Amino acid sequence: MQIIQTKIPEVIVLEPQTFSDSRGFFLETYNERGFHDLGITERFVQDNQSHSKKGVLRGLHFQIEKAQGKLVRVLQGEIFDVAVDLRPGSKTYGNWAAARLTSTNHHMIWIPKGFAHGFCTLSETADVAYKVTDFYSPQYERTLLWNDPDVAIDWPFEGEPILSDKDRAGYTFRALRQQSVKGSRRYAR
C-alpha cells in the first residue's frame, strides 16, 4: 500500500497494490495489520455504500459527538472527495484536502475523526463504499455548507450541484467556529 500525501498531513490517499491479468484484477482493500503499519489503528464498526448520479454532492457531514474516521473508496465511477479540518487548535483548522477517487485508480482516502466529509459525483453514476470508526448517530450529525466562502473548496463542476435539503441548509464555517469558541459544543471531537 502506497501513501499519497494531501495538503493536510492526517488525511492521506492510499494506493493499494493491484494484481491484473486477462481475467481482471485483485486488490486488498483492508488489512488490519497493514493499516496499523501505516499508523491507522482505529477499529472500523460499520460499512456504508451510496449510489449517486452525476452532479450529486453529498456532504459535508460530521458528527459533533461520536465522531467518525472514514476510509472511502469508489466501487464504480469517479468522485471528487473532500475533507475539511474542524479540529480547533489544529494548524490546518478550516483547510480542506481532496482527492479524485475512481474505480480504475482504486485509490482510497483516509479521513480521521475531526473532519467534515463530502464528495461530488463526476461520472454518470458512482458507487461509493466507506468504513467508519463509530456508528451513525443522527442526533449528532451536522453539515458544513458545501460552498462556504471561508472554506472555499474548489469543486470541479460548473453550476449548482444536486443537494439534499439537509445539505443545502448546512452551517457556515463561521457559525461552527463561533459555537466552538462559545463552548456550547466542541465540534469534531
Distance CA(134)–CA(136), nearest Å, equals: 7
Helix (H) / strand (E) containing 166: helix 165-168
Q: Which three cell numbers stand for residue 75?
A: 466501487
Kindly report each contact of residues 86-91 with a partner whose C-beta sits within 8 Å and lies 24 or more positions away, as own/partner.
86/62, 86/114, 86/115, 86/116, 86/144, 86/176, 86/187, 86/188, 87/114, 87/115, 87/188, 88/177, 88/180, 88/186, 88/187, 88/188, 90/114
Predicted confidence (pLDDT) per residue in 24-35, tens digit: 889 899 999 999
Predicted confidence (pLDDT) per residue in 62-98, tens digit: 999 999 999 999 999 999 999 999 999 999 999 999 9
Q: What is the pLDDT of residue 189?
A: 40
Residue 136: active-site member: no
Residue 130: active-site member: yes
Active-site choice (61, 107, 117, 187): 61
Residue 183: is its pLDDT beyond 60? no
Domains of the chain: 2-182 (2.60.120.10)
pTM reported for the whole predicted model: 0.92
Active-site choice (107, 117, 130, 187): 130
Q: Which residues of 26-52 are buried (b: 16+ CB within 10 A; e: fewer)?
A: eeeebeeeebeeeebebebeeeeeeeb
